Amino acid sequence: MDTKVPEKLHVDAFELRFADISEVSLSQLQALSMSVGWPHRSQDWQHLRDVGRGFVALDEIGRVSGSTMWFPHGENFATFGMLITAPRLQTNGAAEWLVKRMLEECHHERIRLNATRAARRICATFGFMPKQTVFQCQGEILSVPQAADIRQGLDLRRLECSDLDVVTALDEPAFGTRRYEHLKRLFESSICYGLYDGGRLMAYSMRRRFGRGHVVGPVVAYCEEDAIAVVHPHVVAHVGSFLRLDTHFGAGPFGSFIQQSGMSVFDAVTTMVSSESALYGGPSTGAPIVFALASQSFG
């Protein structure tokens, strides 16, 4: 950015100043996300801080009134997330101030984010282009929808840490960049399944505790059939409990499988990118595809 972002901002009767997100307590961050109806537990914020960086906006008496984060994924690539302004201070320019400060600090050329309806216009003013809809599917699993048998010769099994390198290799063309550190951190807190064709990994899925229950993601596969195969065991494990999955697939076999299980579309956000080079890999290239996001912030 050409102009320096002011260190202080007058918002209504308040004066806000920046602080590094690592300087405030997890309970303050949780209170902020709760104020906008987001379900993050303190452990979820811890995970975000383990792999990301960010700023908070503090008022004169040290209350956390806003936040923004970015998550470096390898060289020249980052995802943005956790942009929040406390409801009492909204529509006064605080989010714009936070994003400007973040862009000043984050020099990645390729940036991807998932914008809520409230944030879409702000992100567009910074040059982010809308590309895809993400369907936030969630709910109590009612039953396990009928799924086709796993393709002959393929083997579905729990993944171990020793599978992390092949998971990273399958994931890279789908996600758009190598995200080893993120996948490693996710692995530590997830139950993971892989679909193998002999020694070749064809699909993988992860499931971890998050918010109100558990979230399934990331999920990467070459085709919808394989994506369903690796999500199936997570759905089976959660009959009667809350599960969430964020996907670009609102219809078709995968979208139908998710929604018929009880995870209905709760909300939709928009994947936006700073340049075409920040896009996900696409089905047209014959490369693997991201069927479920790790989270809206991680992409």
- Closest approach of ligand COA to the CB of residue 98, in Å: 8
- Closest approach of ligand COA to the CB of residue 29, in Å: 13
- Closest approach of ligand COA to the CB of residue 49, in Å: 17
Query: HSE (CB half, 13 Å, CA atoms) of 113?
Result: 26
Long-range contacts of 24-32 (CB under 8 A, 24+ apart): 24/56, 24/58, 24/64, 28/56, 28/63, 28/64, 29/56, 29/64, 29/67, 31/64, 32/56, 32/64, 32/65, 32/66, 32/67, 32/84, 32/86
Nearer to ligand COA, 21 or 94 (CB): 94
- Closest approach of ligand COA to the CB of residue 52, in Å: 14
Nearer to ligand COA, 79 or 259 (CB): 79
* CA-to-CA dists, residue 44 to 41, 154, 201, angstroms: 5, 34, 29
- 83, 70, 51, 82: which is closest to 111 by C-alpha? 70
CA 271 – CA 296 distance, rounded (Å): 9
Nearer to ligand COA, 85 or 261 (CB): 85
- Calculate Rg over the CA atoms of the chain: 19
Nearer to ligand COA, 92 or 260 (CB): 92
Provide the residue count of the chain: 299
Nearer to ligand COA, 65 or 190 (CB): 65
φ and ψ of 181, to 5 deg: -60, -40
Q: Report cis status (omega within 30 of 0) of the bond before 218.
A: yes
Q: What angle do CA 44, 102, 174 make, to 5 degrees?
A: 60
DSSP type of residue 37:
T
- Closest approach of ligand COA to the CB of residue 281, in Å: 23
Residues forming the site for ligand COA (CB under 6 A): 36, 83-85, 90-96, 115-116, 118-119, 121-122
Contacts of 209 (CB under 8 A, 6+ apart): 41, 43, 189
Nearer to ligand COA, 122 or 164 (CB): 122
Nearer to ligand COA, 60 or 267 (CB): 267
- Closest approach of ligand COA to the CB of residue 136, in Å: 12
- Closest approach of ligand COA to the CB of residue 54, in Å: 13
